[in-house]
Amino acid sequence: MEKLIINGGKPLNGDIEISGAKNAAVAILPAAIMASKGICVIDNIPQISDTECIERIIHSLGAKVKRDKNTVTIDSTTINNNDANTEDVRRMRASYYLIGALLGRFKKARVEMPGGCSIGVRPIDQHIKGFEALGAKVTIEHGAVVVEADELVGTNIYFDVVSVGATINVMLAAALAEGKTVLENAAKEPHVVDVANFLNTMGADIKGTGTDVIKINGVKELSGCNYSVIPDQIEAGTYMIAVAACGGKININNVIPKHLESITAKLVEMGVDISENGDSITVERTGEIRGVNVKTLPYPGFPTDLQQPMTTLLSIAKGRSIVNESIWESRYKHVDELKKMGANISVKNNLAIIEGVQNLSGARVRATDLRAGAAMVIAGLIANGVTEVTNIEHIDRGYPFIEKKFNALGANITREIDN
């Protein structure tokens, strides 16, 4: 196991490049296995352990997978297996996209139940509801989801909750169903749009993504294509929050500013200066920052995946802030770690009440999950003295080269073996 050692108290200055979006990539890679002819060449895939894990899973199904830095080439014409049952499958949440992708292409799949960050109950009832509506029989057998259909037939599906995973998963299967599927109360996240754009480049006919009604005309087959994944809105937001917390001025390049509006608006409300310039934004903190209230919501609301880094920032903002986590029921595990560093936060159900303190002080803390890890790195960057962040395998799941990127901005972070 490794840990990060952070010498805090340094402002961040300079330029940073944002990588491709993790939550788009972990759906686009499984979607690529739906190509029954041709080869997919996908660029801007972030170099993180979650994408490496999906690549291994796709390889285990019989596809040929090659990676060259950010470019992944997949030949899925050789797939000969629709039973995904490796340790990797059980390890990560996004392996549930194999269900929709395999069901669409082979009308049959068996996928071991997905794992992922421990941030509350993570049901997949809406995924199952969608597959059943398309005509699949879904059973849970010995810890695996088993789906099978004589044929998939398009229909109207209304999701009871707004779910990124269910929207994408059912869209995958419906892309190769007979006739028209309409998904209502669909998720509108940029990565949902990106997955649809990828499928359309493969030959699918999907319209309306980015709104809450998605219309899919099923096609007979999908083919390989060239595609580039959108920039990671959450990685960008994490660096925006970090500079707001540490002070300094950074240019964040390779972003789509529109995807960052909810976070930009909150940071501006706190007193941070932000300007846009094409596919870059500049974030500068000159003076004091003020506490604000934040409620996490589906896109275009404030993303739950930035709630934890935001809590760190609010812990040193002037006055009281209230955070309302409305998506996940147990996404406050970082709070106990922040308290070890001197933060004044109390959690009641899904609310965190934060009284801003002058500063944090270095301590040994744990990355309890991916975004909690980012929150602890930012805490270490602000704090007086040395912070050790352990369990960083969670961070490596979603943030490419995190210490290199921060160090290029003037931070002092080293990676060491944690004995």
What angle is formed at CA 262 by the lines to CA 257 and CA 267, rounded to 5 degrees? Answer: 90
Helix, strand, coil % in the chain, rounded to nearest 5: 35, 30, 35
Closest approach of ligand EPU to the CB of residue 273, in Å: 28
> Directed axis angle between helix 233-246 and helix 261-270, to 10°?
10
CA atoms within 13 A on the CB side of 379: 36
3-class state of residue 290 by DSSP: strand
Which of residues 5, 149, 166, 363 is near ligand EPU by CB under 6 A? 166
Paired sense of beta strands 40-43 and 12-17, if any: unpaired
Which of residues 105, 107, 110, 127 is near ligand EPU by CB under 6 A? 127
Place of tokens 């609010």: 314
Site for ligand EPU in 310-339 (CB under 6 A): 327-328
Report if residue 95 touches ligand EPU, rule: CB under 6 A.
Answer: no
According to the annotation, is 124 in a ligand binding site? Answer: yes
According to the annotation, is 123 in a ligand binding site? Answer: yes
What tokens does 192 get?
């949902």
3-class state of residue 349 by DSSP: coil
Backbone angles phi and psi of 404, in degrees to 5: -65, -45
Report if residue 393 touches ligand EPU, rule: CB under 6 A.
Answer: no
Q: Are 376 and 337 contacting, i.e. CB atoms less than 8 angstroms apart? A: yes
Closest approach of ligand EPU to the CB of residue 391, in Å: 15
3-class state of residue 49 by DSSP: helix
Which of residues 305, 337, 388, 396 is near ligand EPU by CB under 6 A? 305
Q: Are 206 and 216 contacting, i.e. CB atoms less than 8 angstroms apart? A: yes
Site for ligand EPU in 340-379 (CB under 6 A): 370-371
Closest approach of ligand EPU to the CB of residue 358, in Å: 30
Report if residue 214 touches ligand EPU, rule: CB under 6 A.
Answer: no
Closest to 76 in 3D by CA, of 51, 43, 27, 41: 41
According to the annotation, is 22 in a ligand binding site? Answer: yes
Peptide bond into 190 cis (omega under 30): no
Nearer to ligand EPU, 224 or 398 (CB): 398
CA distance 365 to 379: 10
CA distance 120 to 210: 26
Stretch that binds ligand EPU, among 67-75, 125-133, 287-295, 334-342 (CB under 6 A): 125-133
Closest to 392 in 3D by CA, of 362, 361, 413: 413
Report if residue 264 touches ligand EPU, rule: CB under 6 A.
Answer: no
Site for ligand EPU in 25-64 (CB under 6 A): 26
According to the annotation, is 82 in a ligand binding site? Answer: no
For 64-98, the DSSP string reads EEEEETTEEEEEGGG----EE-SHHHHH-GGGGHH
Residue of minimal CB distance from ligand EPU?
165
The catalytic site residues sit at 117
Nearer to ligand EPU, 122 or 180 (CB): 122
Which of residues 44, 51, 95, 126 is near ligand EPU by CB under 6 A? 126
Which of residues 37, 137, 161, 258 is near ligand EPU by CB under 6 A? 161
Site for ligand EPU in 184-213 (CB under 6 A): 187
According to the annotation, is 397 in a ligand binding site? Answer: no
CA distance 378 to 241: 8
Closest approach of ligand EPU to the CB of residue 277, in Å: 27
Closest approach of ligand EPU to the CB of residue 38, in Å: 26
According to the annotation, is 47 in a ligand binding site? Answer: no
Stretch that binds ligand EPU, among 77-85, 122-130, 150-158, 197-205 (CB under 6 A): 122-130
Signed CA dihedral, 268, 274, 277, 281: sign only? negative
According to the annotation, is 57 in a ligand binding site? Answer: no
Torsion angle defined by CA atoms of residues 364, 368, 370 and 373, in that order, rounded to the nearest 10 degrees: -20
According to the annotation, is 274 in a ligand binding site? Answer: no
According to the annotation, is 305 in a ligand binding site? Answer: yes
Which of residues 123, 158, 226, 319 is near ligand EPU by CB under 6 A? 123
Annotated binding site for phosphoenolpyruvate: 22-23
Q: Which residues bind ligand EPU (CB under 6 A)?
A: 23, 26, 93-94, 117, 121-127, 161, 163-166, 187, 304-305, 327-328, 370-371, 398
Annotated binding site for UDP-N-acetyl-alpha-D-glucosamine: 93, 122-126, 305, 327
Annotated binding site: 22-23, 93, 122-126, 305, 327
